[in-house]
Amino acid sequence: MIQRFTGHYQTIVPHLFAQVAIDYRRERIDTPDGDFLDLDWLDRSDSRQLVILSHGLEGDSQRAYIASAAHYFARHGWHALAWNCRSCSGEMNRTRKLYSHGQSEDLETVVDHAVATGRYDQIVLVGYSMGGNLTLKYLGTLGKSLPPQVTHGVAFSAPCFIQHSVDSLERPDNWVYKRKFFRSLSAKIAAKEAQYPGLVDLSALDRVSVWRDFDRAFSAVIGGYDDLDAYYRYLSSGHYVDGTTVPVLIVNALNDPIVPDACTPVDLARRHDLITVEQPRQGGHVGFSLRGKDYNGMDERALAFVNGR
């Protein structure tokens, strides 16, 4: 019980009070399927090193944990690129699909764009929650085709086997997270239906109260799946990350209220030389605050891992 309470506390409190001002340079790029992605750069110094930051579900580049990481890496001589998933930059995207935990092809578009600038000798990927899952899936899927500039991947609070996180959200003490996501995603689904009439049955919004039913009625349909188990497999980086050819760090706190222990590929890490799993007792979900610091434990650990520590 105490562990659950501290998990909620360490998840919620840092996000209530963390305000990190940041002045990005925005760039819009096209995707191969005719959509767009908005990229936010912190790149005003001379550097040949870039960190690409991937946000969580219904997040964006302005979230405190993203801005904190961008500032932290910048102070250590890096450029930062915080990209916004489709529909997450303040404007609805163009195509029928939104974004998902498994849509790593959008991260591939971002990485390829950064590589094509010719500005960077080293690129590292850091993702949070959904963004961590995307990072791991991208690295595992690309495998030996990974651009040589990409040297490391780091994922915090990553639901590597998404079905366990979905089930965790049904716990009574997780109602606040579930309600928040339901409200936000329902509004986007309604907007997408307005763009593409007949895409989904909006009347189901009044009947859905369980996350799996929400995914079955909306997320899987928009993603092009009619089988929920197949959809969850597509979303889950744990089925792909063993293909990575660069060092990967996964940090999932044991008191994370959203990502239970079953989401973490501990057994895979034991037999894979390039995958490191850390499960600290504290940290919550994308929390990991440090008392008296203007950065958090995720910033510190990510850069240390990249530097070989």
Give me the active site residues, please: 129, 256, 285
Q: Tell me how crowded residue 197 is: count the other CB atoms within 10 A of its CB.
A: 8
Asked whether the beta carbons of 265 and 238 are under 8 A apart, the reply is yes
| β 49-54/79-84 pair status | parallel
Distance in angstroms (rounded) separating the CA atoms of residues 138 and 145: 11
